[in-house]
Amino acid sequence: MESAHDYVIVGAGSAGCAVAARLSESGDRVLLLEAGGRDRSPNIKIPAAFSKQFRTKLDWDYSTGPEPGLGGRTLYVPRGKTLGGSSSMNAMMYVRGRPLDFDGWAEAGCEGWGYADVLPLFRRAEDNQRGASEVHGAGGPVTVSELRSPRPLTKRFLDAAQAAGIPLNPDINSPEQDGVSMSQVTIRNGRRCSTADAYLRPARSRANLAVRPHAHALGIELEDGRATGVRWRDRRGREQVARANREIVLAAGAIGSPQLLMVSGIGPRDELERAGIELAVESPEVGKNLQDHPFFLCCFESTVPESLADAEKPKALAEYLLRRSGPLTSNVGEAMAFIRTRTGLPAADVQLLFGPAYYHDHGFDTIDGHAFSLAAALISPRSRGELRLRSASPDDKPELVGNHLTEADDVAALIAGYRRLQEIADMEPLASARGRPLVPDHELETDEEIEAFVREETELLYHPAGTCRMGADQSSVVDPQLRVRGVDGLRVADASIMPTITGGNTNAPTIMIGEKAADLVRAAASS
């Protein structure tokens, strides 16, 4: 079975929804393929329930490892498998990253990706509750709001962080990121605002936009050096080909996009030969440059009843259903701080996170009673990993190794992050709410003890990036127009194109990449 469209987009995630909706505005025929189903689960819609999607049918359920810097452990990497992709599964924190992130891309040869270039795209995508300004947008598709019912424990953290010397920063998405702040979130009227909500639903009435859930992409059809179609399988197991008269855009994420390229014969020669795949285009960096934000948690019992421990009780559910307020509107990560762990750094290298809940082992580990969690995430990691195929089948999950904490500077930053968390926990008004330590269950004194704990407890913040690196050099996977080198009519638009991972949560910059990709595609069509 075959169908023809002007554009075929693979992946209805943070970038893919933006690309599809924007391209459909001009009347072109757009097909959006998504391997997951529709985003109807209450665990998607209710903000505080996001972790209940983990290891369900809504989750690709990847893992990295064995990790050489973490004692051979494997690390869990959830990825959203539904309309909205990981924007339907994440903790909804709206963090753009630092100006130097994007200026660094531009200085490395990615013309058009500097902070001044991408700021209008961030503003265009945004409907910020605070209103329009030089930095923020209003009236865009993505709702960015304040938390409706933050827990009192979170205010204690904000005050304790300031007592520990971290200045209050009312807007960590301004050009100055350093400081402590309440989280702004992609929540609309107490419900998650995913990119499916923001972009797809307003566009679904357009006859020229076709959205196909349960459409698992199998590979890219190549003819005479051009990408002409996408092979995909529906939920009944029937294979089809979607032909693209103009372009194909891969937006399957930092794991899905490089895997699709490689199973289609685009990638490192030795890797494809090992998997028994015929080489179509040699692109040695496909799957390389894997980055994420490693982090660890410190958890404490709370002596005050100010946490999310009551979020699943009938009273909280009633408040949510009747008023769209209360603990179920929490994103759990209610506050954050960006800090520099040593002098001479050009920007923050660690993000501190606060949750008024016991959040350990991705939410699978539970306790009774009130608790809170403090986390330190490395946002400027030096380590680089890679993605490799297990086989030629697109159904087999790829192998991922991030090499996290194999660089001494990365370890030192997280040790400093641990000490900073303990300083904050010792400050009022948080100190008087701090009960028995849970993770770790005793005080750590020496750097050696802290390092051992960090290597034992480090997980990932669900931000894989970098595996289809953008660059001006010929070894990069895509050029600054996001075109796959060596193939006509094929682009990549998702977090995989990041040359270096942005300093903070990656959903907002990935949406920006989708907006940018749509502009690039439309400019090519009109030239």
The CA angle 83-89-92, to the nearest 5 degrees, is: 115
Q: Which residue has the tokens 């399957």?
A: 252
pLDDT by residue, tens only, the chain of 527 residues? 678 899 999 999 999 999 999 999 999 999 999 999 999 999 999 999 999 999 999 999 999 999 999 999 999 999 999 999 999 999 999 999 999 999 999 999 999 999 999 999 999 999 999 999 999 999 999 999 999 999 999 999 999 999 999 999 999 999 999 999 999 999 999 999 999 999 999 999 999 999 999 999 999 999 999 999 999 999 999 999 999 999 999 999 999 999 999 999 999 999 999 999 999 999 999 999 999 999 999 999 999 999 999 999 999 999 999 999 999 999 999 999 999 999 999 999 999 999 999 999 999 999 999 999 999 999 999 999 999 999 999 999 999 999 999 999 999 999 999 999 999 999 999 999 999 999 999 999 999 999 999 999 999 999 999 999 999 999 999 999 999 999 999 999 999 999 999 999 999 999 999 999 999 999 999 98
Residue 429 pLDDT:
98
88 and 201 fall within a common domain = yes
Instruction: Judge if 374 and 490 occupy the same domain.
Output: no
* Distance between CA atoms of residues 172 and 167, nearest Å: 11
pTM recorded for the entire structure: 0.97
Task: Using the 3D structure, point to which of 427, 457, 487 is the last residue of a domain.
Answer: 457
Judge whether 463 counts as a catalytic residue. Answer: yes
459 phi/psi in degrees, rounded to 5: -125, -170
User: Which structure tokens are listed for 430?
Assistant: 């948080």
Partners of residue 6 on adjacent β-strands: none
Any domain includes 189: no
Alpha carbons 280 and 433: distance in angstroms, whole number = 61
How high is the pLDDT of residue 225? Answer: 95
Residue 478 β-bridge partners? 470, 484
Q: Tell me whether residue 188 is in a domain.
A: no
Q: Residue 477: in which H helix or E strand, if any? A: none
CA triple 479-483-489, angle to 5 deg: 160
DSSP label at 362? G
The whole-angstrom separation of Cα 436 and Cα 372 is: 11
Domain boundary among 419, 437, 457: 457
Same domain for 398 and 510, yes or no, is yes
Position 141 in a domain: no
Is residue 138 in a domain?
no
Q: What is the pLDDT of residue 3?
A: 80
Q: Does 283 lie in the same domain as 224?
A: yes
Count of structural domains within the chain: 2
Please check whether residues 505 and 429 belong to one and the same domain.
Answer: no
Judgement on whether residues 356 and 390 belong to the same structural domain of the protein: no
The active-site residue out of 5, 216, 293, 463 is 463
CATH number (domain holding residue 496): 3.50.50.60
Is 159 found in the same domain as 12? no
Residue 131 lies in a domain: no
Tokens 């013309």, residue located: 111
- CATH code (residue 367): 3.30.410.40
Residues spanned by the domain of 81: 1-123+195-290+384-403+463-527
Q: Is residue 255 domain-shared with residue 331, that is, in the same domain?
A: no
Q: Do residues 311 and 242 share a domain? A: no
Whether residues 306 and 450 share a domain: the answer is yes
* The pLDDT value given to residue 527: 83
Alpha helices in 227-284 (DSSP H): 253-263, 269-275
β-strands 30-33, 209-212: how paired?
parallel
Q: Are residues 163 and 42 in the same domain?
A: no
pLDDT attached to residue 86: 98
In a domain, 143, yes or no: no
Same domain, 303 and 368: yes
CA angle (166 as vertex; 162, 168 as ends), nearest 5: 70
